[in-house]
Amino acid sequence: MSAPVFCFSSDKLQFVASTWKPRERRQTESSPDIQASTKPMFVLMGLIGLLLIIVVLWDVFETIVLPRRVTRRFRLTRFFYRSVWAPWSAIARTVHKSRRRETFLSIFGPLSLLMLLSLWAVTLVFGFALLHWAFGSHIYTANGSAGFFTDLYYSGTTFFTLGLGDIAPLDRAARMMTVIEASLGFGLLALVIGYFPVLYQAFSRREVNISMLDARAGTPPTAAELLRRHQEGQSLESLDQFLRDWEMWAADLMESHLSYPVLCFFRSQHDNQSWLAALNTVLDACSLVMVGIDGIPKWQAQLTFKMARHAVVDISQIFNTSPVKHDGARLSKKDLATLRLALSECGVALRNEEGDEGTLEELRAMYEPYTHVLSRYLMMPLPGWLPKARASDNWQTSAWENAPLAADQPIRKCMLDVPAKKAHAQGATAATERPD
pLDDT for the residue 372 = 95
Confirm if 51 and 124 have CB atoms less than 8 A apart. Answer: no
pLDDT for the residue 405 = 52
pLDDT confidence bin for 237, thresholds 50/70/90: confident
- 36 — pLDDT class (breaks 50, 70, 90): low
pTM of the model: 0.81
Segment (H or E) for 406: none
Say what the pLDDT of residue 233 is: 82
Confidence of residue 146 (pLDDT cuts 50, 70, 90): confident
pLDDT of residue 6 exceeding 70: no
Can you tell me the distance from the alpha carbon of 63 to that of 77, in angstroms, rounded to the nearest whole number?
8
- Contact indicator for 223, 285 with CB cutoff of 8 Å: yes
What does the pLDDT read at residue 91? 96
- Could you tell me which of 381, 250, 98 has the C-alpha nearest to residue 242? 250
pLDDT at position 171, please? 85
- Looking at residue 416, its pLDDT comes to 56
Q: What is the pLDDT of residues 96-128, one digit of tens each?
A: 998 999 999 999 999 999 999 999 999 999 999
- Quick: pLDDT tens for 261-312: 999 999 998 888 999 999 999 999 999 999 988 878 899 999 999 999 999 9
Q: Distance (Å, rounded) from C-alpha 107 to C-alpha 371?
A: 23
Given pLDDT bands bounded at 50, 70 and 90, which one contains residue 32?
A: low
pLDDT of amino acid 291: 92
Reference 124, options 46, 185, 61; nearest CA is: 185
What residues does 141 pair with on adjacent strands?
167
| 73 membership: H or E segment, kind and range | none
Q: What is the C-alpha separation between 287 and 298, in angstroms, rounded?
A: 10
**Which of the four pLDDT bands, split at 50, 70 and 90, describes residue 182?**
very high
H/E run at residue 139 = strand 139-141
Quickly count: other Cβ atoms within 10 Å of residue 310's Cβ: 14
* 317-338 burial: b if 16+ Cβ within 10 Å, else e: ebbebebeebeeebbeeeebee
- Alpha carbon dihedral 171, 173, 179, 184, in 10-degree steps, equals -150
Say yes or no to pLDDT of 436 above 80: no
Query: What pLDDT digit, counting tens, does each position of 395-410 carry?
Result: 777 777 655 555 566 6
C-alpha angle 305-381-83 in degrees, rounded to nearest 5: 100
Q: Would you mind telling me the total number of residues written for the chain in this entry?
A: 436
pLDDT tens-digit readout, 38-57: 678 888 989 999 999 999 99
Q: Which residues contact 210 (CB under 8 A, 6 or more apart)?
A: 268, 273, 274, 275, 278
Other beta carbons less than 10 A from residue 23's beta carbon: 18
- Which of 173-187, 241-255, 349-363: highest mean pLDDT? 241-255
Which of 164-168, 229-233, 249-253 is modeled with the greatest confidence?
249-253
Domain boundary assignment for the chain = 30-194, 218-387+402-413
Number of H helices, E strands in the chain: 14, 4
User: Which one is predicted more confidently, 277 or 74?
Assistant: 277
Q: Does domain 30-194 have CATH number 1.10.287.70?
A: yes
Share of the chain above pLDDT 90, in %: 47
Contact 102, 267 (CB under 8 A): yes
